[in-house]
Amino acid sequence: MLLAGTALGGSALAQTPPPAPVAQAQQWTVRDFAALPLMERPSLSPDGLHIASRVAVNGEQRLVIADVYEGPNRIRSMGLGDNDLNWWKWVNDDWLIAGVGNESNVQGMPWYLSRVVSIKRDGSKVTLLAKNAAAQNADDVIWIARDGSPRILLSYQTSIYYSEPGFWPKVDEIDISTGRMRSIVAPRQHVRGWYADAGGTVRMGVGYNDASRTSTLLYRADGRSSFRVVDRANRRRDESMVVPLLFTADPGKAIASDDHEGADALYEYDLGTLELGRKIFAAPGFDLGGIEEDAAGTGLAGVRYTADAPAVHWFDPNLAKIQADIDKAVGDRRARIISTSRDGQKMIVHVGTPDQPGAYYYYDTAAGAMSVLSRVSDQFPGKTRLSPVKTIRYKARDGLEIAAVLTLPAGREAKDLPLILMPHGGPFARDSEEWDWWVQFLAWRGYAVLQPNYRGSAGYGTAFAEKGEGQWGLAMQDDLNDAVDWAVGQGIADAKRVCMVGASYGGYAAMRAAQRDGGRYRCAMSYAGVSDLAAMMRYDGRFLYHGTRKDWMKEQAPDFTTVSPVNFAAQFSTPILLMHGKKDRRVQVNQSREMAEKLKAAGKVEGRDYIYVEQPLADHFFSREADRIEFLEKLDAFLKEHNPA
């Protein structure tokens, strides 16, 4: 965590020597790839003098608050216990807030509870906000004061019972230094989301009635006015509403995102007429990610999106110039501005590549100095490059063009290689050219790794996403097989040495491959995979908007039975490794347990036809280093037996 003693100015970075050749593979171990990142998602305080981040300490993740410059008690570390650390944000220079979650037994059933804690920068005070009032969901912070005061607006439930008013969230202003609360907006039936402008006035509410599948948009121009319904939408008729991303300094204007031209783009938005105006920005062929607000909170500083790799377009001319200067200085490495001070003069920058985890730097633009804040990994020295990564495009059998990320093992000819096909989770997600510890481990072992962004993946526009509707385990699965055919046709992969490896939806796809297309694959591996869509829907039935969720799932898989691998255990024709964390709160461990039980009941032999490994302390996201190590060791042994490199 300590800043490097030597500061490197822009000119020093520009003179960085070319990357060293790939180090000898034998210097690494499974543990090197499984190590937790030394630092994740660092966030700079408004004055730019303090940093909050998630840090690996003795194989566990902790929230760490550190001062940029030397001083007593410079680094404070806070354990999470059994809580998930979901996010953290600075409120002012002395206080920050964090979203935490945990599973609790409510009326005999496991429920996930979310909360916000306030943390004093020196670690002397930690307060659970709305402690005596909050019900299930209580981590929706809709506004943070920009005047330096320790105030936020929190939207939260006060009851778990649908029939009570408190089931619908209210909005309170909270002084996070004392925990004192003041009511701002009372709960309103069916309104689940409230939105505030930069001054802290709640301007908008979005309501949804799950029974009728109808949405309503409530709006007011200022804090003295009453909310009125200004728009409605019926999901059953595929109607939608535009909800602003940002309220501008002009109280009648906002910034919104819309995909009516086929992909997300940013537009000016008139709050009086609810009409989109001038297009502000689009990344042709790609959807947009999150926006970066300016210091006042009333304008755009930038917008993030992912093409083949993550990128940002800066509207702020100062940040645009800084980005261009850093890009020029780092050569073929990629630089991303992660967090900035309020005046835009101090920032955290990540520099790395898809074949190098890289490091976080602290950049003081006034001093012209960039200092190493923390490497992401101690295992791979700064100039070491691992296996090269690039994006390829192939045609599915129906002619649809699909992008995929290809990683080739360093130092080996790209010819007749053993192949790992790795579909992403989600499935409404995507892979891109980024450092990936799973992928780099497998490439180090000698495998080519191909990660297709099959139909239904996010980021490629509305039409591409819609092509996944009704195609779980069907055309989406065909896209994966077509990716294998492409790699074989290019001479990269050996058709007789292919294994599918995936997690979450990717784990489902691996199970489906073993059941439906076993002749194509030497083996399959599923981590936290879904085996039974109907059981997943029963589990989701305890959550709000289950009806809409079920509608969506029926669009993706109209017949749960025919595409759920658990119903066809006898058809599994290739060895499969099933792994699942007992503390997984996203996909229940029963999804893998039941699959293993059904395989056994179908006469499959454990240890030969299937292996089931349950990790008692693991979650869905590999938060513990010990679980990562066990995962890679089990996967490594399984591949050596069934698809050796």
Q: From CA 516, how far away is CA 54, in angstroms rounded?
A: 41
Query: What pLDDT was estimated at residue 419?
Result: 98
Q: Say what the pLDDT of residue 559 is.
A: 83
State in Å, rounded, how far the first CA of the chain is from the last one.
Answer: 37
User: What confidence category does residue 590 fall into, taking pLDDT thresholds of 50, 70 and 90?
Assistant: very high
Say how far apart CA 587 and CA 592 lie, in whole Å: 9
CA distance 55 to 79: 10
Output the CA–CA distances (angstroms, integers) from residue 395 to 417, 483, 486, 489, in the order listed. 21, 8, 8, 12
Total of domains in the chain: 1
Query: What one-letter code names the amino acid at 368?
Result: G
Give the dihedral of Cα atoms 370, 437, 401, 312; nearest 10 deg.
Answer: -20
Cα–Cα dist 209/434, whole Å? 39
Give every CB contact of residue 146 below 8 A, 6+ residues apart in sequence.
Answer: 198, 295, 296, 297
- Structural domain includes residue 85: no
Residue 637, domain CATH:
3.40.50.1820
Q: What is residue 72's predicted lDDT score, i.e. its pLDDT?
A: 58
Structure-token pair, residue 582 = 């007992």
239 confidence band (pLDDT: 50, 70, 90): confident
Q: Is residue 27's pLDDT more than 70?
A: yes
555 found inside a domain: yes
Give the pLDDT mean for 426-451: 96
Side-chain-side CA neighbours of residue 98 (13 Å): 26
Helix, strand, coil tally for the chain in percent (to 5): 20, 35, 40
* Domain-embedded: residue 410: yes
Q: Could you tell me if residue 30 is inside a domain?
A: no
User: What is the average pLDDT score of the chain?
Assistant: 90
Q: Decide if 101 contacts 112 (C-beta within 8 A).
A: yes
**Inter-residue contact 282 to 261 (CB < 8 Å):** yes
Residue numbers of the domain that contains 443: 389-642
Alpha-carbon distances, residue 194 vs 181, 188, 569 (angstroms): 17, 10, 46
- Is 302 within the bounds of a domain? no
What's the CA gap between 527 and 638, in Å, rounded? 13
Please compute, for residue 34, the number of CA atoms within 13 A of its CA located in the half-sphere on the CB side.
19
Strand partners, 61: 56
Model confidence at 539, in pLDDT bands (50, 70, 90)?
Answer: low
Q: Which of 645, 634, 630 is nearest to 34 (CA)?
A: 630
- On the question of a cis peptide bond just before residue 169, with omega within 30 degrees of 0, the verdict is no
Q: What is the CA radius of gyration of the chain?
A: 25
Q: What is the mean pLDDT of residues 147-166?
A: 93
Q: How would residue 541 be classed by pLDDT, with cut points 50, 70 and 90? A: low
- Three-class SS of 322-362: HHHHHHHHHCCCEEEEEEECCCCCEEEEEEEECCEEEEEEE
Of 285, 236, 266, 282, nearest in space to 463 by CA: 285
Dihedral of the alpha carbons of 449, 454, 456, 462, in degrees to the nearest 10: 110
Predicted model pTM: 0.91
Closest by CA to 355, choosing from 445, 421, 449, 436, is 436
Distances (CA, A) of 61 to 82, 98, 232: 11, 14, 43
Sheet holding 39-44, edge to edge: 39-44, 50-57, 60-67, 75-78
The predicted structure's pLDDT at residue 163: 87
Q: Is 450 exposed, middle or buried (0-12, 13-18, 19+ CB in 10 A)?
A: buried
> Which has the minimum average pLDDT: 184-188, 505-509, 554-558, 623-627?
554-558
> Residue 201 pLDDT more than 90?
yes
* Kind plus residue range of the DSSP H or E element containing 599: helix 590-601
pLDDT tens readout for residues 381-422: 777 899 999 999 999 999 999 999 999 999 999 999 999 999
